[in-house]
Structure 1
Amino acid sequence: MKNVTVTMEDAVAEWARMEAARRNTSVSRLIGEMLAEKMRHDDAYERAMNEWLQRTSFHQSGGEPYPKRDETHAERLDRFR
């Protein structure tokens, strides 16, 4: 493990102390856990985005222009007119 110094506003430090006490842990461990969770979340998001970007598109026009919104939803739009 690596020790680091963190600078934060007084109100943030007070909140961190109270939150750490509520969780029965230290401020250092609380911040470390929060950063680890953020890292896992960001990594999962990046993996999901890369998978989505690399997928084969299910919607291909075959060179034709895509239909306009009104054409696609004409049946629904007619109900409200």
Structure 2
Amino acid sequence: MTKNITLAIDEDLLDKARVLAAMRRTSVNELVRGFLQREVNREAHQASRAEAWGRVFDAADASAEARGKEIDDQVPLVDREELYGEVMHERGLL
């Protein structure tokens, strides 16, 4: 179900948006809808990636603890190759 909204923008910007919409053979409404959809999708994708990286780092921390290493902010828990391996494993590529 679609809802109507009121949007207040500068007249010059609206004129430019109308020209852009005409060049793309669409409407200003569709341009705004597309922009908002892309922003929402981008934000959701970033949140999903952050969550996935959180799982990778949690697994790396747990792995380091299992190997008896103390967690210290000054000392890396895993080296580059270990982190790469964790990411590849998380993605099911190893």
Q: TM-score range by the shorter chain?
A: 0.5 to 0.7
**Displacement of 1:22:** 1.1
More contact order relative to length (CA 8 Å, sep ≥ 6) = 2
RMSD: 2.3
Work out the CA distance in 2 between the residues paired with 1:52 and 1:28.
Answer: 36
**Displacement of 1:34:** 0.9
Greater Cα radius of gyration, structure 1 or 2? 1
Paired residue for 2:60? 57
Q: Secondary structure at the match of 1:3?
A: coil
Number of equivalences? 67
Please identify which structure carries the higher helix content. 2
TM-score, scaled relative to structure 1? 0.68
Residue identity (%):
22
Paired residue for 1:66? 75
**Displacement of 1:5:** 0.9
Paired residue for 1:17? 18
Gaps of 5+ in 2: 77-94
